[in-house]
Amino acid sequence: MRNRVTTRSARAMRVAGDRLLANIRSLGKIGATPDGGVSRLAFTSEDARGRELVRDLMIEAGLQTCVDSAANIIGHRPGERQDSPALMLGSHIDTVPNGGALDGAYGVLAAIEVARALNDHDTLLSHPLAIVAFNNEEGAFGTRGMWGAHAMVGALDESDLTAVDDRGRPVAELLFDMGGDAGHLDRAVWSADRVAAYLELHIEQGPVLESRSVQIGVVEAITGRSTLDITVRGKASHAGTTPMELRQDALVAAAQVILAVRDLAYPNGPVRVATVGSLSLAPNAWNVVPGVVTMQVDLRDVSDVAIRQATSRLRSEVLEIAMRTATAIEAENQYSVPAVSCDLGLRDVIAEASESLDLGHLTLPSGAGHDAQVIARIAPVGMIFVPSKGGISHTPEEYSAEDDLIAGANVLLQSVLAYDERYGRTF
């Protein structure tokens, strides 16, 4: 019979750090690129091999595994009461093209090590554990991102189910190849009463923790995001024969729009960050005044109100720029994701877990999106960050120190134990 965890035994419990690092290296070899990156896109043979490894590791950790109809891999660990809601841990193992070995994968492998540590110490939690490797977080080949998480909360629509990816393959076929079943996605849905809470461990993907020399980030909120497509229409004309005062230069107008976007965040704008990351112009010839410029604007903040304020301000400034430059400028909302606050109780648990391990911690927002923001529709969520070297992610240079990776996994373990101790008798 397994032991009920005590405060004293919980504080002494640790993950097997060497095994965690070895598993990270093993998974990183699947889809490895010559320059040290990883290309393990969802719905590819590399993804299938990575999923097989993860499922094997779950089994070794004593988890009861299954693949649901959305092709999420789920490892179950029984709790003291099987009718109680599960404490869910997880992330994803798919990557962007030539990405890094840690984004997503670290959280899944660390969660598996948490389960293995509990088994190694013959420890029974009140809550069942559900460890999830979510399918297709990155949105491979033009498919919807965070696919598996959206399926789990019942947020997919008909267009998602009938979609065809950029390679011409139906999503239903892709799911089938990974063990899913597009015809029964309702079976992948979890109701709110099945999940007590969700915890996700992740590399920061930004420079804040490293710049502050802090090992653990306690995420206060996952940023909301709004994307706008902006088109500037001027008049293409000869660069040598058109006087400056008679030009309708779309690129000059676009440059002013870009500066206006920057000012939405810095130095005193309403949103935390604002970016123009995509730009194209026509006819794109060295001796022709540009006639059309298109760009994509990305606005992010932990406040949806701030994002709306920034969007409204940008629309007003775009009209003024159009008048000054004799151009026509259209701004169209393309995509938006609401901000999600992390549960205050879970934040306290993570902070206390960090302190119990003598690890410094810092409260900060997540500037990137995560499966957690989708799961927040059915459960309280919390996120733990560890430092990223240089703030780099989604590239071969993505790196976090081994000590930080082990520390983060131990904070996850201690957070699970502390959460179970605090809330395990309340259901």
Whole-angstrom distance, CA of residue 66 vs CA of residue 7: 32
pTM here is 0.89
Whole-angstrom distance, CA of residue 23 vs CA of residue 74: 18
Looking at residues 236-246, what average pLDDT do you find?
97
pLDDT band at 427 (very low <50, low <70, confident <90, very high): very low
pLDDT at position 126, please? 94
pLDDT band at 21 (very low <50, low <70, confident <90, very high): very high
pLDDT per position as a tens digit, 344-361: 999 999 999 999 999 999
pLDDT per position as a tens digit, 254-272: 999 999 999 999 988 999 9
Looking at residues 182-188, what average pLDDT do you find?
93
- Are 260 and 318 within 8 A, CB to CB? yes
Burial of 285 (0-12, 13-18, 19+ CB in 10 A): exposed
Where does residue 31 fall: left (phi above 0), alpha (psi -120 to 50 degrees), or beta otherwise? left
- The torsion defined by the Cα of 352, 353, 358 and 360, in degrees rounded to 10, comes to -70
Whole-angstrom distance, CA of residue 67 vs CA of residue 181: 10
Whether the pLDDT of residue 249 is over 50: the answer is yes
Looking at residues 177-192, what average pLDDT do you find?
95
Looking at residues 145-157, what average pLDDT do you find?
94
The boundaries of every CATH 3.30.70.360 domain in the chain are 224-337
pLDDT at position 6, please? 57
pLDDT at position 205, please? 95
- Quickly count: other Cβ atoms within 10 Å of residue 231's Cβ: 16
Whether the pLDDT of residue 131 is over 50: the answer is yes
Tokens standing for 344?
Answer: 């205050």
Name the DSSP class of 390: G
CATH class of the domain whose range is 3-222+339-423: alpha beta
pLDDT at position 9, please? 62
Pairing of strands 195-203, 86-92: parallel
The boundaries of every CATH 3.40.630.10 domain in the chain are 3-222+339-423
pLDDT at position 160, please? 87
Whether the pLDDT of residue 206 is over 90: the answer is yes
- Are 302 and 274 within 8 A, CB to CB? no
Residue type, 84: S
Q: Which of helix, strand or coil describes residue 103?
A: coil
Nearest to 382 by CA among 424, 351, 423, 360: 351
Helices (H), 121-268: 147-152, 158-161, 171-177, 208-212, 250-263
Whether the pLDDT of residue 202 is over 80: the answer is yes
Whether the pLDDT of residue 3 is over 90: the answer is no
Whether the pLDDT of residue 99 is over 80: the answer is yes
Whole-angstrom distance, CA of residue 403 vs CA of residue 386: 10
Residue type, 95: T
Name the DSSP class of 235: -
pLDDT per position as a tens digit, 318-346: 999 999 999 999 999 988 889 999 999 99
Name the DSSP class of 264: T
Looking at residues 222-246, what average pLDDT do you find?
96
**H-helix or E-strand containing 196?**
strand 195-203
- Are 274 and 235 within 8 A, CB to CB? no
Residues 6+ apart with CB under 8 A from 426: none
pLDDT band at 277 (very low <50, low <70, confident <90, very high): very high
Looking at residues 29-50, what average pLDDT do you find?
97
pLDDT band at 423 (very low <50, low <70, confident <90, very high): confident
Nearest to 183 by CA among 193, 195, 170: 170
Whether the pLDDT of residue 2 is over 60: the answer is no
pLDDT at position 4, please? 57
pLDDT band at 161 (very low <50, low <70, confident <90, very high): confident
Q: Which of helix, strand or coil describes residue 358?
A: coil
Q: How far is CA 105 from the centre of its chain?
A: 11
Whether the pLDDT of residue 114 is over 60: the answer is yes
pLDDT at position 1, please? 42
Tokens 């904070």 appear where?
411
- Are 214 and 102 within 8 A, CB to CB? no
Whether the pLDDT of residue 44 is over 80: the answer is yes
Tell me the fold of 224-337.
Answer: Alpha-Beta Plaits (3.30.70)
Q: Which of helix, strand or coil describes residue 382?
A: strand
Whole-angstrom distance, CA of residue 55 vs CA of residue 78: 17
Mean per-residue pLDDT of the chain: 94
- Are 14 and 410 within 8 A, CB to CB? yes
Backbone angles phi, psi at 128, to 5 degrees: -65, 155
Pairing of strands 216-222, 129-134: unpaired
Whether the pLDDT of residue 5 is over 70: the answer is no
Name the DSSP class of 268: S
Whether the pLDDT of residue 298 is over 50: the answer is yes
